Each structure stands twice: as structure tokens, then as C-alpha cells.
Amino acid sequence: VIFMDVGGKILEDCTREEFFNNAEARQPRTKDFLNKILGH
């Protein structure tokens, strides 16, 4: 998974498992995104 901010800067570049299963290790912007989508 490659997760970028609005300006196109790469914030995360990791496996799907790392991205979705270890949210606490992610950047603050990524954590915010995951908190919004994983609740659905």
C-alpha cells in the first residue's frame, strides 16, 4: 500500500498487512484515515 498526502508526498509504503493491522505504527495522517474507514 502506498498512502500519500494531498500534495502527493508518500507517507506510507508498506504491505497491506502492515498498513491495516498495525495502525498504531502509522503516520498521524494515516491513523486518522484508518480510524475513519475501519469503523465502517
Q: What are phi and psi of 6, to 5 degrees?
A: -60, -35
Which grid coordinates are listed for 36? 475513519
Q: Please, what are the averages of pLDDT over each run of 10 residues along the chain (40 residues)? A: 95 95 91 86
Amino acid 39: pLDDT: 76
Report the predicted TM-score, pTM, of the whole model to 2 decimal places. 0.74
Which grid coordinates are listed for 19? 498498513
- 19 and 27 Cβ atoms separated by less than 8 Å: no
Residue 15: which domain range?
Answer: 2-37
Q: What are phi and psi of 9, to 5 degrees?
A: -75, 130
Tally the domains of the chain.
Answer: 1
